Amino acid sequence: MKNYNNQNFLKIFSIFLIVSSIIFFFYGFLVGENSAGAGGLKGDFDNVWITLQTFLNNDLMTSIKSSSTAGVSLEQPYISSRTPLIYIFNKLFNPFVESKINYIRSVFFFLLLAPILFYYCLKIKFPKINNIVLALLACTILLSPYFRTSSYWGLEENYGIVFIFISYILLKVFFEEKKNKFFNKFIKLFFLIFASSLCVYFDQKLLIIPLFCFLKIIFSNQNSSIKILTFLLYSFFSIPFLYLVFLWGNIIPTTVSSERNTGGFYLSHLGFTLTIIGFYFIPLFFFREKNIISIIKSYFNNNKNLFLLFFFIIYLFFSFFLDNYQGSLFPVLGKGVIHKLSLLLFNDLLIQKLFVYGSFVVFYFIVTMFLDNQNNENLIIFYFLISSIFVFPILQEYFDPLILIIVFIFFNIKLKINYKNVIFLFFYLLFFLIYAKIHYFKIFSSLS
């Protein structure tokens, strides 16, 4: 009876949290919340609006070529680090682009698809889990300061998230096709490859999504004709991106590549990325079927982990003494929550650096212990770690809420999804949102 009452309480409390998070999300939109620092009409939206005008006032090819400094000169320049698909999409399908406020509202309502699709993906992945638990888990995306700010101010980041969910759904539909009819397989394969390819065109770092889908098909028991078609279709859908790389001489538009310093080598970013990813792994340890003591024991009994630790120590040595920790541009920009914490706690640069590099070690263990030598998971995290070395700046928003989404729908690690664990994750992310709101409130208050 006591257990029944406890479960009943958790159920009612979870429903309360679901309703509260939805109301809080809409309230943030109504008051123009800026919990990630990029919001406001004079924030990143200003660049979005200028770039959108380029596409609205010119033909597509002229607009695309304007993303290169070698391209045509237009009154409204291309000011974006992403491929043009977001602007092409809005030019062709969004009837509410005539004013800033209508455009912002249209993007907000379009991006409401994200938590709905997240819930649907979770339901596919965990069909036996209680619907209320999955709904609460899906609502955690509404607590991301970066998802919120991007949704509220018509920014670029969340389009790719919507297509991650669509890609996952289509991936499951493709593999659950029981019929042997080639035409049915081909249609489902085509839309899967198309949707996953669009992820890259919305956000270059989402290359991991089509790569994951490609490898999933190639190493499956599908017949050889399906695998050949997979290769050919992905090759075909990569042609526009290869054209853009040729046009820019880079993976991001020429108009912003110089200020982003793309093509550099930032060794310390691997450590910063570990702290950012590990930050989201911390509450997920409670979801593991193994207890933490068992995870630690099995970790140190594996010689492979000790071998990799040796290379990580070598990395720490070279990064600490040879890498430009502060960076030549925007020394305090980005680098994640642990870096921000070091700035808050210490004034001396050397102490800040020692604190951050000590955190690199702690979060190395957090990330590698959580992964537990799973091939799919190692591939995805390795991709983010290696790519971060070549990206400037490295920002928390690149991984939030992306890491949690990928863990819950793409990882194969066995997770205990129940009321208590999801409620704990909910409050963990809520406290982070509150911290972000206070942090940026102080910054903007000091500037005003």
In which band, very low, low, confident or very high, does the pLDDT at 447 lie, cut at 50, 70 and 90? Answer: low
* Lowest-confidence segment of 166-170, 246-250, 286-290, 372-376 by average pLDDT: 372-376
Q: Which residue in 428, 426, 397, 405 sits closest to 21, CA to CA? A: 426
pTM of this prediction? 0.92
Band (pLDDT 50/70/90 cuts) for residue 73 is low
Q: Residue 330 above 60 pLDDT? A: no
Say if residue 328's pLDDT is above 50.
Answer: no
Range in 135-139, 298-302, 308-312, 430-434 the model is least confident about: 298-302
**274-284 pLDDT tens trace:** 999 999 999 99
Q: Which pLDDT does position 123 carry in this prediction?
A: 96
Mean pLDDT of 318-342: 73
Residue 415 φ/ψ, nearest 5 degrees: -125, 140
Span 179-190, average pLDDT: 84
pLDDT over threshold 80, residue 382: yes
Residues in the chain: 448
Cis amide bond preceding 393, omega within 30: yes
How confident is the model over 135-150, as pLDDT tens digits? Answer: 999 999 999 999 999 9
Q: What is the pLDDT of residues 336-366, one digit of tens each?
A: 889 888 888 888 888 988 999 999 999 999 9
Contact 65, 177 (CB under 8 A): no
429 pLDDT above the threshold of 90: yes
- The whole-number pLDDT of residue 179 equals 67
Q: Quick one: pLDDT at residue 262?
A: 58
Two structure tokens written together for 288: 């593991």
Region for 372 from its dihedrals, namely left if φ exceeds 0, alpha if ψ lies in -120 to 50, beta otherwise: left
Model pLDDT, residue 87: 95
Q: Give pLDDT, residue 17.
A: 97
d(C-alpha 318, C-alpha 337), whole Å? 23
Q: Is the peptide bond before 401 cis (omega within 30 degrees of 0)?
A: yes
Q: Are 266 and 390 in contact, with CB atoms under 8 Å apart?
A: yes
Q: What is the pLDDT of residue 373?
A: 66
Instruction: Over range 404-409, report the average pLDDT.
Output: 95
Are 67 and 174 within 8 A, CB to CB? Answer: no
Per-residue model confidence (pLDDT) at position 55: 92
Mean pLDDT, the chain, rounded, equals: 88
Mean pLDDT along residues 383-411: 91
H/E element holding 11?
helix 2-30
Residues 439/336, Cβ–Cβ less than 8 Å:
no
Alpha helices, H only, 204-281: 208-218, 224-248, 254-260, 268-281
| DSSP conformational letter for 325 | S
User: What pLDDT sits at residue 184?
Assistant: 85
3-state SS, 376-418, equals HHHHHHHHHHHHHCCCCCCCHHHCCCHHHHHHHHCCCCCECCC
Per-residue pLDDT averaged across 374-397, rounded? Answer: 85
Nearest residue to 421 via CA among 288, 225, 318: 288
**pLDDT bracket for residue 94 (50, 70, 90):** very high
What's the pLDDT at 2? Answer: 58
- Are 334 and 393 in contact by the 8 Å Cβ rule? The answer is yes
How far apart CA 438 and CA 24 sit, in angstroms, is 16
Instruction: Give the tens place of pLDDT for each residue, 227-269.
Output: 999 999 999 999 999 999 998 888 888 777 666 555 567 888 8
